[in-house]
Chains A and B, each alone.
Chain A
């Protein structure tokens, strides 16, 4: 066996090795439908979700004051998580920036549901504190 191959094999056999491969958790996070289903399930995070929804309504109220023609409120049952969060982000008051995604660390994750899950979880974390 070539010595570099042997070294690699040895490394792979070290039990600690496999667990140190993914230092940035967010770069490796994806919204699988089963996650989304759990996020929506009252039996899992009943209170937290409703708090997030409450915030959504608060943002909506602010927006309604500012704009003549407010966007209709989207209800969770009719819209997937991504849409709910676009709605939530759209309701940030003028001058208040939505959470920023760092382009240096998130190349592949600029669009789509990955970022939305991160945003969602950040919002959820914020709502809990």
Chain B
């Protein structure tokens, strides 16, 4: 299992959005992906085109009746996440998923206990961030007293960039200079993202030319390479290019 933990210190920064887009993008490249929603909000599924009253199975139910959308295996882990059984299983052997899965976990900002538990098991921790002061200040709360710069698995994703806004530009340059490679990706702001949600459609279908999509592709490249994953499709792309 490869575990990509998506967790930020602040809500509303695009953690769920990034988790969903990343899962879809990895699956599109042929990766075997499971996306787990650990939040009370249950909004991850919306990015896959599900309605609020359509539900993804828990870990146990998913064994017998999995739900796959666009080749992403969707699980809602909220009901199980605090049970002793689940916690013990995670401590001992990681998440209860197929051995070869690339798991993208969406963890709510306030759920620091789960975030820390999964961090231990994670190959990469993606912390989305907005180019605004409240989100920037929340960096001080991301990893307890451990400096972010010394958390080797933690990588920042600056989301909702908008170069028309001064503070967005300045924040972007500041974060890049300060964190260098630890800023693993940037995603531009595009109204098509919430619009797709409002339509219950996947972003790639609703707005195929959205600027978000190439940014997510770049992010996926960076994430896979950080996790040391080479997918069959990327290999054939490389052969074609070379």
Given A18-B163, A22-B169, A28-B169, A47 and B177 touching (CB < 8 A)?
A: no
> Which among A68-76, A81-89, A104-112, A120-128 touches the partner chain?
A120-128
> Cβ of B80: which chain A residues have Cβ within 8 Å of it?
none
Partner of A42, one of B137, B147, B211: B147
The closest CB in chain B to the CB of A25 belongs to B173
Do residues A41 and B140 form an inter-chain contact, with CB atoms below 8 A? yes
Partner of A29, one of B148, B170, B190: B170
Partner of B150, one of A16, A21, A46: A46
Q: Would you call B180 an interface residue if the criterion is a C-beta within 8 Å of the partner chain's C-beta atoms?
A: yes
Given A35-B174, A121-B177, A43 and B136 touching (CB < 8 A)?
A: no
Do residues A22 and B163 form an inter-chain contact, with CB atoms below 8 A? yes
Given A39-B178, A128-B180, A34 and B133 touching (CB < 8 A)?
A: yes
Do residues A34 and B209 form an inter-chain contact, with CB atoms below 8 A? no
**Chain A interface residue number, banded:** 20 to 34
The closest CB in chain B to the CB of A46 belongs to B147
> Cβ of A15: which chain B residues have Cβ within 8 Å of it?
190, 209-211
Do residues A44 and B148 form an inter-chain contact, with CB atoms below 8 A? yes
Partner of A38, one of B136, B162, B169, B170: B136
Do residues A44 and B188 form an inter-chain contact, with CB atoms below 8 A? no
The total of chain B residues at the interface (CB under 8 A) is: 33
In the assembled complex, the CB of A54 is this many whole angstroms from the nearest CB of chain B, namely 15
Q: Is the interface of A mostly helix, strand, loop or mixed?
A: helix
In the assembled complex, the CB of B169 is this many whole angstroms from the nearest CB of chain A, namely 6
Chain A 28-68 interface 0/1 with B at a Cβ cutoff of 8 Å (1 = within): 11101011011101111111100000000000000000000
Chain B 159-186 interface 0/1 with A at a Cβ cutoff of 8 Å (1 = within): 0011110010110011011101000000
In Å, the complex CA distance between A46 and B179 comes to 12
In Å, the complex CA distance between A16 and B210 comes to 9
Q: Would you call B149 an interface residue if the criterion is a C-beta within 8 Å of the partner chain's C-beta atoms?
A: yes
Do residues A43 and B137 form an inter-chain contact, with CB atoms below 8 A? no
Candidate in B137, B149, B190, B210 with the most chain A CB atoms within 10 angstroms: B149
Do residues B211 and A16 form an inter-chain contact, with CB atoms below 8 A? yes
The closest CB in chain B to the CB of A45 belongs to B149
In Å, the complex CA distance between A35 and B112 comes to 25
Q: Would you call B114 an interface residue if the criterion is a C-beta within 8 Å of the partner chain's C-beta atoms?
A: no
Q: Would you call B227 an interface residue if the criterion is a C-beta within 8 Å of the partner chain's C-beta atoms?
A: no
List 11 additional A-B contacts (Cβ < 8 Å) besides A18-B163, A46-B149, A47-B150: A15-B209, A19-B211, A21-B163, A22-B163, A29-B174, A43-B141, A44-B139, A44-B149, A45-B148, A124-B178, A125-B177
A residues contacting B by CB (< 8 A) are 15-16, 18-19, 21-22, 25-26, 28-30, 32, 34-35, 37-39, 41-48, 117, 121, 124-125, 128
Task: Provide 7 A-B residue pairs closer than 8 Å at the C-beta atoms, listed in order of the A residue.
Answer: A19-B188, A28-B169, A38-B178, A42-B147, A43-B139, A44-B178, A45-B148
Closest 5 CB pairs of A and B: A46-B147, A121-B177, A43-B140, A34-B133, A25-B173
